Amino acid sequence: MGEPMLFVRTNGCNLRCRWCDSTYTFQGGQETCIDDLLDIVSKAYEKWVCFTGGEPLLQREATAFLKGCTDAGKNVLIETGGSLSIEKCLFSDKTMIDMDIKTPSSGESRSLYRHNLDLLREHDYIKFVIADNEDYDFSKEFLSGLKNHVNSVFQPAWGTDLKWITEKVLQDHLDVRVLPQLHKIIWGEIRGV
């Protein structure tokens, strides 16, 4: 968080989270060939590329794009909903997985492809978007049921009190990072940031 990133946002998603902040990606958009995207990536000053969506892993050329980014010397943060296999994304230490574990308020809490949890590496992490007590309790219970330690983030759904979640995490002594959506704090709810 806080490091400049070049965002590559894809269209299409196989999930319909109730609090989704990028529903505009469900349709429309502009098709761009992978060579043009990689040209933009290679010329960008940012060291990081955020590959997001929708669901970026739905793109048939996702792996080729990721390899092109890492070949250009970039680190890539892959933001995925966790319902599709991440296996083809793990070819380099320059790729990092940010995998949502969908909470009850999303309406998609049964969508996780659980084998992904076994594939996560030391620098990858899971994220829980939390809107209410039910989401918090679900997230806490999910973490307690994991066999291995996994880096974890609790992120308040937009409009949810950051202080409330932080105080709950401190009270429960959870080993998680609480992170807001910094871009929304800075620019508000606008498209393109």
Does the residue 52 lie in any domain?
Answer: yes
| pLDDT score, position 13 | 81
| pLDDT score, position 11 | 86
Does the residue 85 lie in any domain?
Answer: yes
Does the residue 58 lie in any domain?
Answer: yes
| pLDDT score, position 72 | 97
Contact 13, 54 (CB under 8 A): yes
Does the residue 193 lie in any domain?
Answer: no
Does the residue 88 lie in any domain?
Answer: yes
Contact 54, 26 (CB under 8 A): yes
Note the pLDDT tens digit of each residue in 31-43: 889 999 999 999 9
Low-confidence ranges of the chain (pLDDT < 50): none
Does the residue 192 lie in any domain?
Answer: no
Does the residue 73 lie in any domain?
Answer: yes
| pLDDT score, position 88 | 96
Q: Which structural domain range is residue 151 located in?
A: 5-187
Contacts of 105 (CB under 8 A, 6+ apart): 18, 19, 129, 130, 131, 132, 134, 135, 157
| pLDDT score, position 192 | 61
| pLDDT score, position 15 | 78
Does the residue 156 lie in any domain?
Answer: yes
DSSP letter (8 states) at residue 138: H
CATH number at residue 19: 3.20.20.70
Look at the chain and report how many structural domains it folds into: 1
| pLDDT score, position 41 | 97
| pLDDT score, position 85 | 97
